[in-house]
Structure 1
């Protein structure tokens, strides 16, 4: 049956204890998706893996990965008849999640978590479409979700688990002793089981070679990448998390420390990470990895510790990997440090550059300058390390000069890459506010109503000469339809479309050719 082929990781023989649902970015029953890849829901897979090892039969339905509509998603859940349905609530997909929840059979209990649930718990609890909601889990869910599956009545003993009192309609919550609270809210990430990839329909996966791959192949740095770039073989890639939490407070980010005071920052031991790399290689043939957490290249001492152990295990001779990084931290690394990263297999770094305007970078609390960014990227690409740079257009208070400074900054970075072996890929997004972030408070203090700021819709760039197929693995652009700065939205989107199209053309240029 179709629903059984779309549910990942479950044991089809036994009754389903829980089905975890990743809502689609939009209702694909109304307009089919074009892209065929989305980043895996690693957080949800961690919860499912932990519950499975605790003895429960669970599955994941990734409606975004399968391009499902709201009605079909709800139909699959109802046909599977789980005891519990679980959802990760994110601001841009909350309406999709609520519409799915509204259609669930009344005997399916609902638990929710995620950034949106954490930022606006009372709003979620009061939503009549969430009538099946029996547990709202704030923060990391592995231990508490398994406890709920074992015995729902235990929710009164679980910290930071909320529900709506059926008699009074008011919020109720669990209380735990101080002894058990820390272990439930911040489990030892080195003791957690490795993610069972059976829960992830698109991870590991075989990607199309990127411009960075082609340049690496042209340089002869990695033989199997050279073969992949010439179509002789493919390579298998997987996503991985090396840490949890972030010490920075970027104004727009849901991971900002001020939005997550309960999160204890933890980094996995390098031996623990290498164990997962080797497991994925042995089981799936994975030779390329993407670290998607905030801190893997975000703390200098952590970088040095991990790279020493990576070198001891000769990781660079067996694998390549990408990671997120902090520009201010990378700026402090020596050329020798960068040589060590390259020798250990670093292929590409994802950087939140965000703006080419000093004024906007200060408003975002980025703690970087454009000069620092250019200096870091010049050094990275000179070492053959690719860069994926993220930018935000239309941030509150942005002027036309700020916008043009960002455009000029992007073109300077492209020019730098054109003269070095490393490549830079640019991803540009229209600003959208998320509840719980520092900028959200600033906007609501300024008089914006939450209903205005939560009115997310996807942006159609086709009339500006760009389309979804140009965006590769990026999330689709979302907007709340509000002009937060000086520049009209139509000009923001025209600029966004132009930069997207230019990056698309660069992606398809021959290695070594100036775009």
Structure 2
């Protein structure tokens, strides 16, 4: 079957022990995708790599990356005939995963994990579409998945592994025998093997040159950056840490939603080893740290940058990272210069709103003035800013949403007179189970079934097609007005900002051509 070639990383000459399935964000049989790039499933690839190192034949089927529909995905899994199918459950795509699971052959055992499985395990276990479900893994899965592949009966002794007793219909839970292994729920991040990129069909990838690359070629002047300004970088995504110390009320990574999770940062030498391996094997010269908060603790920034300086990373690579505004606010000009010298190209910031009232409700521990000051200092140093924003947050008023629009346009104006750029990525609010705001909403009387009714939003009628957003991803809604602003107004505002950002992108590309 030619479609089996879409399975990444497996040895086709031997039977599959496990096929890790990333569900599509929507059913592409119903509406084909517009864009052809999606973020790689690094968490799934970490688990697959660990299982492979343990001697199992495993593969990854990234249905989102390949734009597959529900039926086609299930048929492909059945044709591959793995002992186990494994899924990462996310709230907005849970229905996609459940529909795939319902179409799996009965002899394919199913294991699941992910944020949604952790937040609502009993709901998942009780779903009649999950009849093949034999293990639900709470938290990080590397060690426990490998143990399950070795022997399904080991689930009885694995902490944080659940299943439904077939006779009693009750939840069954693994109980460790003897002294439990503390690394089972959260492994040593420095002891894990580097991700085998064979499991990722779109990573590394060849990126087109950006306006930021062209500006850097002028301002920093290295041979690497000048070459990238002409032909772009070969880029790869990477994880530098696990966990987040903050408690933003809307976020699945909020510390209150993950009380069992210990925050762990990879040793700088371990990270640099992976950078160099990716360069040697694939020619990668640009990296994107996609963990929750790579630049989120000052002591970690100092430790990483000392090693980056020693290894002359900035002379060889550029990199993008997630950052925390209140932490970056405390860095002095010398520390920002050091980030630049070490190759920082762009930092992604959870700005979220231009209204201090809403920022307080989100528990962001920042205000709009701080965001503007930090963004100004970053772009002045030639560091790009990608700002994430949320519209339609619970309690948001018309004045709040207008404050966000003014804030975004003010940040664009600042960028126009500085070397660094500002990109705005704006989304409609949607609640995630397990987060603080989910508890607030359900306590206020919202029905969980209504809060879980995610649907993808097509903004084409508002004048913003998906090609403007460059990715089909994460444009979801549960169709509920949570604040004072009607959904139609939220979406028309989102579309307006999307069009304006798209026009800015076109203008900068045209100016550099």
TM exceeds 0.5? yes
Match of 2:433 in 1: 435
Match of 1:462 in 2: 460
**Alignment partner of 2:482: what SS?**
coil
Match of 2:291 in 1: 293
Distance 1:475 1:301 in 2: 33
Match of 2:226 in 1: 226
Q: How does 1:307-456 map to 2 (within 5 A)?
A: 307-456=305-454
TM-aligned CA distance change 1:178 to 1:299, over 3 Å? farther
Q: How does 1:44-123 map to 2 (within 5 A)?
A: 44-123=44-123
Report if the CA contact (8 A) 1:252-1:437 is conserved.
yes
Q: Structure 1 residue 511: deviation in Å? A: 6.7
Determine which of 234, 237, 241 is the counterpart of 1:236: 234
**Alignment partner of 1:310: what SS?**
helix
Deviates more, 1:283-292 or 1:175-184: 175-184
Q: Structure 1 residue 218: deviation in Å? A: 4.1
Report if the CA contact (8 A) 1:90-1:116 is conserved.
yes
**Alignment partner of 1:59: what SS?**
strand
Q: Structure 1 residue 176: deviation in Å? A: 1.3
Residue 144 of structure 2 is aligned to residue 138 of structure 1: no
Distance 2:345 2:408 in 1: 21
Q: State the TM-score, normalizing by the size of structure 1.
A: 0.98
Q: Structure 1 residue 177: deviation in Å? A: 4.8
**Alignment partner of 2:50: what SS?**
helix
**Alignment partner of 2:162: what SS?**
strand
Q: Structure 1 residue 212: deviation in Å? A: 1.8
Determine which of 244, 251, 260 is the counterpart of 1:262: 260
Residue 5 of structure 2 is aligned to residue 8 of structure 1: no
Q: Structure 1 residue 468: deviation in Å? A: 0.6
Q: Structure 1 residue 220: deviation in Å? A: 5.2
Report if the CA contact (8 A) 1:210-1:507 is conserved.
no
**Alignment partner of 1:485: what SS?**
coil
Distance 2:428 2:181 in 1: 39
Distance 1:156 1:89 in 2: 22
Report if the CA contact (8 A) 2:34-2:472 is conserved.
no
Residue deviations 1:260-319 (CA, integer Å, cap 9, x gap): 011110000000000000000000000000001123100000000110011000000000
Report if the CA contact (8 A) 2:19-2:77 is conserved.
yes
Match of 2:485 in 1: 487
Instruction: Please provide the CA RMSD for this pair.
Output: 1.3
Distance 2:264 2:271 in 1: 13
Q: Structure 1 residue 222: deviation in Å? A: 4.0
Match of 1:496 in 2: 494
Report if the CA contact (8 A) 1:3-1:76 is conserved.
yes
Residue deviations 1:24-46 (CA, integer Å, cap 9, x gap): 00000111101100000000000
Determine which of 270, 275, 278 is the counterpart of 2:276: 278
Q: Structure 1 residue 509: deviation in Å? A: 1.4
Q: State the TM-score, normalizing by the size of structure 2.
A: 0.98
Report if the CA contact (8 A) 1:214-1:511 is conserved.
no
**Alignment partner of 2:401: what SS?**
helix
Distance 1:211 1:91 in 2: 35
Report if the CA contact (8 A) 2:35-2:472 is conserved.
no
Match of 1:150 in 2: 150
Report if the CA contact (8 A) 1:418-1:513 is conserved.
no
Distance 2:178 2:225 in 1: 51
Q: Structure 1 residue 47: deviation in Å? A: 0.2
Match of 1:182 in 2: 182
Report if the CA contact (8 A) 2:285-2:316 is conserved.
yes
Match of 2:26 in 1: 26
Residue deviations 1:430-475 (CA, integer Å, cap 9, x gap): 0000000100000000000111000001111101110111112472
- The number of residues matched between the two structures is 512
Report if the CA contact (8 A) 1:347-1:386 is conserved.
yes
Match of 2:170 in 1: 170
Which residues of structure 1 form unaligned runs of 5+? none
